[in-house]
């Protein structure tokens, strides 16, 4: 069955519309990918501050359970936090400050207090250990 000229013309127009729709979808997916990849550093910093917060909270709970103080040592140049025989290693390419800190966390939660900063690129996260209560906060 032969195809009429009008039908061939409509088919070509439809192919053009399909190509335009496909290009629009590709552009939308590409722009979404750019926004998603752009916030990777921020998410990495947020995850690392949450991990450090959890590590310090676990250390406080261990001090309470054992009924004795636990020493916390921070070596920022190596990206390492040690407490009572356990360690937390900061993710590679992140900067941990201060360079060095050492404190004793009492079973009551009392200590000298501690403020740690984790940075990657322009994004900075802060973890604070309250000197009186031992409460851990993140920002």
Q: What domains sit in the chain, N to C, each tagged with a CATH number?
A: 5-138 (3.55.40.10)
- In whole angstroms, what is the distance from residue 118 CA to residue 127 CA? 8
pLDDT at residue number 59: 93
The pLDDT averaged over each successive group of 10 residues in the chain (139 residues) is 62 70 85 71 91 94 93 94 94 91 92 93 93 90
> For the residues of 38-68, what is the DSSP string, one character each?
HTHHHHHHHHHHHHHHHHHHHHHHHHHHHTS
pLDDT at residue number 2: 67
Helix (H) or strand (E) holding 138: strand 136-138
Model pTM? 0.73
């Amino acid at each position: 069955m032969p195809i009429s000229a009008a039908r061939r013309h409509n088919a070509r127009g439809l192919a053009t519309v399909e190509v335009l729709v496909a290009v629009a979808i590709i552009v939308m997916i590409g722009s979404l990918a750019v926004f998603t990849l752009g916030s990777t550093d921020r998410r990495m910093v947020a995850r690392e501050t949450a991990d450090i917060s959890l590590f310090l909270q676990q250390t406080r709970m261990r001090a309470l359970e054992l009924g004795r103080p636990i020493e916390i040592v921070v070596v920022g140049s190596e990206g390492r936090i040690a407490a009572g025989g356990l360690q937390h290693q900061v993710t590679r390419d992140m900067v941990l400050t201060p360079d060095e800190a050492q404190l004793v966390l009492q079973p009551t939660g009392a200590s000298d207090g501690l403020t740690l900063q984790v940075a990657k690129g322009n994004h900075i996260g802060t973890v604070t250990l309250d000197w009186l209560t031992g409460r851990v906060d993140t920002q």
